[in-house]
Amino acid sequence: MKRNKIIGIALISILIGINSYAQKNKYTIDAGKVPACTHVHLDDFPHHKAVPIIKGWGGMAVDINNAPAGTDFTPLLHGLENNHCQVPHWGYIIEGSIKVMYEDGSEELFAKGEAFFMKPGHTGIVLEDLFLVSFSPEDAMEELIKHIEKRVDELNSSSASK
């Protein structure tokens, strides 16, 4: 019960942060376009995608990320602007930790129990088996996911030909 309260408080804080960032950087959350069902279970996320995502949350998308320790997201971002993800993410680390590296050379560590904002221009390396939930602008996430799925196919093709 305590864990659920902590997660609830973190998600409310994240959504407030999303709203203020959205206004500043012209991301728009449209509460009129939020679905009638405003909650999802982990089992509701697609299991066949590189990034399990559910769209239609008033201009935002919610995704979950499970990645083992040692996962480096950098190869998946190759070909994007500055080879870094340019999509902002707000989220909560349920398990594990990730080191996030930004284009400007700065780094942050996000760990279990922390709400986070991952600014545009980032990549990351998973330090401990990671399980997180994040919210991001829907249109930007759709483009990012297309790129990641293309990169996964390219990387799988190149490793299969060796």
Higher pLDDT, 114 or 21: 114
Give 124's Cβ-side CA count (13 Å radius). Answer: 23
Q: What's the confidence (pLDDT) of residue 96?
A: 98
Q: What is the pLDDT of residues 44-81, one digit of tens each?
A: 655 666 666 766 777 888 888 889 999 999 999 999 99
- Inform me whether the pLDDT recorded for 41 exceeds 90: no
- Inform me whether the pLDDT recorded for 14 exceeds 90: no
Task: Enter the tokens of residue 62.
Answer: 């919610």
Q: Please name the helix (run of DSSP H) or strand (run of DSSP E) that holds residue 2, with its range, or none.
A: helix 2-25
Whole-angstrom Cα distance, residue 128 to residue 59? 31
Angle at 90 between CA 88 and CA 94, to 5 degrees: 135
Q: What is the pLDDT of residues 90-141, one digit of tens each?
A: 999 999 999 999 999 999 999 999 999 999 999 999 999 999 999 999 888 8
Q: What's the confidence (pLDDT) of residue 45?
A: 59
Q: What's the confidence (pLDDT) of residue 23?
A: 47
Q: Please name the helix (run of DSSP H) or strand (run of DSSP E) that holds residue 122, with its range, or none.
A: strand 122-137
Contact 92, 115 (CB under 8 A): yes
Domains of the chain: 2-160 (2.60.120.10)
Contact 114, 93 (CB under 8 A): yes
Contact 7, 92 (CB under 8 A): yes
Note the pTM of the prediction, 2 decimals: 0.74
How far does Cα 23 stand from its chain's mean position?
A: 20
Q: What's the confidence (pLDDT) of residue 153?
A: 82
Task: Enter the tokens of residue 22.
Answer: 């959205």
Q: What's the confidence (pLDDT) of residue 102?
A: 97
